Structures are given as C-alpha cells and as structure tokens.
Amino acid sequence: MAAPAQAIPRHVAIIMDGNGRWAKERGLPRIKGHEQGAQAVRACVEGCGDLRIEYLTLYAFSAENWQRPRAEVMALMRLLERFLKEKTPELLEKNVRLQAIGRLTDLPGACQRQLHKSIEQTAGNNGLTLILALSYGGRLEIIDGIKSLLHEIELGHIDRAMIDVEMFSKHLYTRYYPDPDLLIRTSGEMRISNFLLWQLSYTEMYVTPKLWPDFGKEDLFAAVEEFSQRQRRYGGV
C-alpha cells in the first residue's frame, strides 16, 4: 500500500496500547513487549517523516502508570533512558525535533538528564516534531493550567474576565503545538485513557485491533488514508 497522497493530518497523536498483551501471547516478560514497542516507535516516526506530518505525540508513560509494579516501572525508565540515548543520533540524522510534555520532574534523575540532553541536541531540527507524553495525565494538565492562570491573576498580569478558550490553551503543556487532527489507538480499546482531554475536542479517532508492537508504517498509512476520507465540520453543517 502506497502512502496517501492528500489530506495529511498536521498533528497525529497515538495511544500506544498492547505491549503487555503482545508479550503475554508469546509467553514473554512484559518488558519484552515494551522493548518491541520501542521498535514500533521507530517505524512510526519514519512513516510520519515520509508523509511530512509536522507533529507526532506519543502517549509513552501516563501518570497512572506509576501505580504499576515497581520492577516494571524501573524497567520502563531504564528502557526510556536507553531509547533516548540510542535514538538521538538517528533523530538528528532524520531532522526530527524531540519535545516532551507531562510532569517531567517525576521522572528519575538519569531519565530527566538524558531527556533534556536529547531535546537540546535536536532543538535545531525543523522536520517532524516528536512529542513524548511522560508522566502525563489529561486531568493533571488541566489542573496545572488552572493553577497557572490563577497565579497570573494573583500577580495582576491578567483579569479573570479575560479568560477564554484561547488563553486557557496557552497555559497547557501543549501551548506550543496545534491540537491533534488524528488520534490513533492500538489494541482495539475504545477509550482515550486520560490523554489530551482538552486538545482532542474535534480530533478524528482511528482504532485498530493491532497491538502496538505490531503497528508499522503500513498501518499508519492506512489510518491516514481513512482520515483523508472524512469530512471535519467542527460542530458546523
């Protein structure tokens, strides 16, 4: 299947679900599913580059994921650190700019340092912007946005009468990026799992039964092809 030729979304967001199930089906430890999922990230980034998509946001680690067994969480943090270290040269080669959203200070120190290093190293790239949602929760983001607005009001920088949708959006983690045009969720689950609650208001959704480690370029192209067939009305007629 060839890459779609038109109606390309500017911003794609993905809920990468199914790593654990993929490993379980093969009698492997859950971390093996996460490792294979990291390879799917590589294929998806390449596919977005082929399509000239501007932004790709990946739900890499939710705020709720901290509740998982400590051994799994620590293994995921080590995987994240290794992924960033190993893939940054490739991001540089492919002109990909790395960014991150979420409560990043919750991450272990080594992860934070490598993340900031990778972000700095790729800051000059002007191709695809890859945004990792880490220790991220949509409700937490909205709460943090409210706190930020209240702080501005207390300082006298704004008046509460000035608050509207546009101003509130500027106090969210995603203030530098456009809202997603297309949300992809793997593993067939029909929910958004506390991901980009504010930003997904008019986003087109595409759900595939494929588990994330099996998701490849052709699957991305299929999602974009379906997106190109839809009519987006934004509440209009």
Catalytic amino acids?
Answer: 17, 65
Asked if residue 223 lies in contact with residue 206, where contact means CB atoms within 8 angstroms, the answer is yes
| Cα–Cα distance, 114 to 83 (Å, whole number) | 10
Cβ contact 140:195 at 8 Å: no
Tokens of 20: 């654990």
* CB within 8 Å of 200: residues ≥ 6 apart: 13, 179, 180, 183, 192
The beta strand positions in 63-207, using DSSP E, are 97-101, 129-136, 182-185, 204-207
Q: Spell out the residues 6+ positions from residue 4 whose beta carbon is closer than 8 angstroms to its own.
A: 51, 221, 224, 225, 228
Tell me the residue type at 126: N
- Rounded CA separation 191/78 (Å): 28
Number of alpha carbons in the 13 Å side-chain half-sphere of residue 169? 12
Residue matched to tokens 């990909």: 96
Alpha helices in 104-216 (DSSP H): 109-121, 138-154, 165-169
